[in-house]
Amino acid sequence: MPIQYSEELRLFRLATPNTAYFFHINEGGFLIHDYYGEILPMCDLRSASARIGKASFSPRSADLTTVPETAPQEYSCNGTGDYRISALQIRESRGNAATDIRYVSHKVYPGKPAIQGQPATYGTDEETTTLEVLTEDGVTGARITLYYTVFEQQDAISRRVKAENNSEKVMDLERIYSLCVEIPFGNWELGHLYGSWAKERTFERKEIPHGITAIESKRGSSSHHHNPFAAIVDKNTSEDTGAAYGFNLVYSSNFSIQVEKDYDGDLRLIMGINPTDFGWRLEPGEAFETPEGIMVFSKDGLGGMSRIFHKLYRNNLCRGPWKTKKRPLLINNWEGTYFNFDEEKIFNIAKDAGELGVEMLVLDDGWFGACNNDKAGLGDWFVNEEKLKGGLSNLSERIHGLGMKFGLWFEPEMINPDSDLFRAHPDWCLQVENRPMSIGRTQYVLDMSREDVRDYLFKCMDDILNTAQIEYVKWDFNRNLTEVASFLLPAERQKEMFHRYVLGVYDLLDRLMTAHPDLLLEGCSGGGGRFDPAMLYYSPQIWTSDDTDAMERLDIQYGTSICYPTSAISSHVSVCPNHQTKRTVPLRTRGDVALAGSFGYELDMTKMSEAEKEEVREQVKEYHKYYDVIHFGDLYRVIPPNGEECAWIYVSEDKSEALLTFVCIRNHPQIRRTVHFRGLDPNKNYADEQGTVLPGSAWMNIGVNYPKSMADGTTFKVYLSEIQ
């Protein structure tokens, strides 16, 4: 049973094939966390999880049943004796923020309820089982429901919280995190993903100090700088062995992950909406639902943790036909032309690319309004016919005549001050009355909390998609939010704006995908500035970084793969010298690195030599040959990028094929290296493309040798297929 409850022990057990999660209700009605980790049978863990109240001046609860500061609380509250980081704080009508929730009831049922207006994982009644635990603050009347959904076959648990005002007076949510987890004393380290524009999701692992460590964004997006992901790993955990907890928030706005290591070495982790600049007023009878948090545990190291996230997101987060349907191999014109194009230039790029096997042309920024640079036209979503004489419908028809598909770039949330839309509706921007508006990339931000703004944007996009044959949309977002206020909200609700903004984005995305269910949507935010699970719910692939240099992409794609599947990682071959780093990397290497993602090209193929075009033809063949094992296989990160080398392996789910890619970053003479396969069936026989046949156990234990003749920046691949 995925969820069990012992009436005698008042104990809950949530289980997957490899993990178990326990908590109980104590005599005072507090929810006390007992255990999360490797699978355990139903057993009484209450005494094993008990912690002696050792802290000085630690008050007991009024009913003397609990020492809140030392109890491993399932969902921590502020102001009633627990001085550690709090998951919940509600300010009641008299101005006090003391919060104390106690168990009322629970129910267990098959399936998983949706979150109104928000993206979330999903599952059938056969795949998922949900536990709802209702708690209440008896003084304020706040009713807090804790949701737990077990994805039994995926080894994952999702969590979220709903707050309801069951009183006759107003109350204000000041912090409401999606989950709280207690992890007992150990040699724990924190893993997280940090970065910046063109250097997203660098994986860092460090010892957790005493006190509070925070990973947060208050930029109005999940951001280039910090990803809504954290791992708690044992000091001795490697890629393949050891305990690894993973936490990821399905949210695209301000988030907070806080880890507190107390005086005794125990950890508490909370994850959810960042309470900075957040508040939500609940009138009597109103409710608020948090975004969803995902938590996983693996005893098979960071790699085991990653593969759980990958399978869950591929199968139970991404939606629509493109989560399983083979995606077209595309070329995007951005780095090939930037704003300097007309219809003939775009058509000629498509024509040359199509002759090499490319299946789609994506027209990027600059096709609309008076847009000839990044200073004008955003918001005016009508075709610039000085560039495209016959409009998008004519260009689309010509490209489809080549046997190719056609895609288009939008940046719906932004507006240039030099635009017809801004001149007509300056009040549609985010702004604080009497305060100058900050500008970024010559852009302001539209108030996505407004229904009239969303209606305008939907009509513009829907009209474009209905007047031309467009199979793909790239949705961009090129600055963070400032002066986050709306003319339509009263003063007491202005702190709701960051959350209302992202709910508006989700609403527009949902409307667009409902109207055009076969559309392939790619997320983007100056590259990977909004690469989070919530966006994967709408766009099964996300432009990973504006840095297209293959050597830089090794780090970026490695870090991204810590919790996001390869199928979500948009990765393109670009021209050399690279536009971001000025580095020159062989075309073969650029192709091999880009294959570790949703593959495409970002250059002008009309400028390629015949030798380069022939190499592209080979890359196209490899794209089709390796597509399934890369997009749907298990990823094993064999060698992380370390300045010398990097290697990774994909193994199909049925273990019938595998692909190893090795990159020599910097070669040395007289050094022999061997790369070992992972994840194969030791009892199956596998052949490489030279005809060598060995059992899986040999490929994994003996491996393949690094060729001595490799130059810096070159690669080799080894493909294995099962021999019956």
Per-residue pLDDT tens over the stretch 316-367: 999 999 999 999 999 999 999 999 999 999 999 999 999 999 999 999 999 9
Return all residues near 641 (Cβ < 8 A) that are at least 6 apart. Answer: 554, 555, 558, 663, 665
Name the CA radius of gyration of the chain, rounded. 27
Return all residues near 700 (Cβ < 8 A) that are at least 6 apart. Answer: 676, 677, 678, 680, 682
Q: What is the pLDDT of residue 64?
A: 72
Q: Where, residue-wise, is CATH 3.20.20.70 in the chain?
A: 321-632
Bridge partners (DSSP) of residue 694 are 686
Q: What is the pLDDT of residue 53?
A: 56
Bridge partners (DSSP) of residue 387 are none
Superfamily of domain 321-632 in CATH is: Aldolase class I (3.20.20.70)
The DSSP H or E segment spanning 554 is helix 550-560
pTM attached to this predicted model: 0.97
Q: Considering 137, 546, 549, 634, which one is annotated as catalytic?
A: 546
Residues of the chain with pLDDT under 50: none
**pLDDT tens column, 214-273:** 999 999 999 999 999 999 999 999 999 999 999 999 999 999 999 999 988 999 999 999
Residues 593, 554 contacting (CB under 8 angstroms): yes
Residue 342 one-letter amino acid: D
Question: Does 546 qualify as catalytic in the annotation?
Answer: yes
Return all residues near 486 (Cβ < 8 A) that are at least 6 apart. Answer: 430, 447, 449, 450, 494, 497, 500
**What whole-number distance in Å separates Cα of residue 698 and Cα of residue 723?**
14
**What whole-number distance in Å separates Cα of residue 225 and Cα of residue 198?**
10
**What whole-number distance in Å separates Cα of residue 477 and Cα of residue 340?**
21
Q: What is the pLDDT of residue 59?
A: 81
Give which of 353, 307, 299 is closest to 331, Cα–Cα.
Answer: 353
**What whole-number distance in Å separates Cα of residue 274 and Cα of residue 293?**
13
Q: What is the pLDDT of residue 54?
A: 61
Q: Considering 100, 155, 364, 476, which one is annotated as catalytic?
A: 476
- For 588, list phi and psi in degrees, rounded to 5: -60, -45
Q: What is the pLDDT of residue 706?
A: 78
3-50+65-316: CATH architecture: Distorted Sandwich (2.70)
As a whole number of Å, the end-to-end CA separation of the chain is 37
Question: Does 172 qualify as catalytic in the annotation?
Answer: no
Q: Where, residue-wise, is CATH 2.70.98.60 in the chain?
A: 3-50+65-316
Record: fold of 645-723: Immunoglobulin-like (2.60.40)
Q: Where, residue-wise, is CATH 2.60.40.1180 in the chain?
A: 645-723
Q: What is the pLDDT of residue 264?
A: 85
- Which tokens hold the place of 415? 């507006």
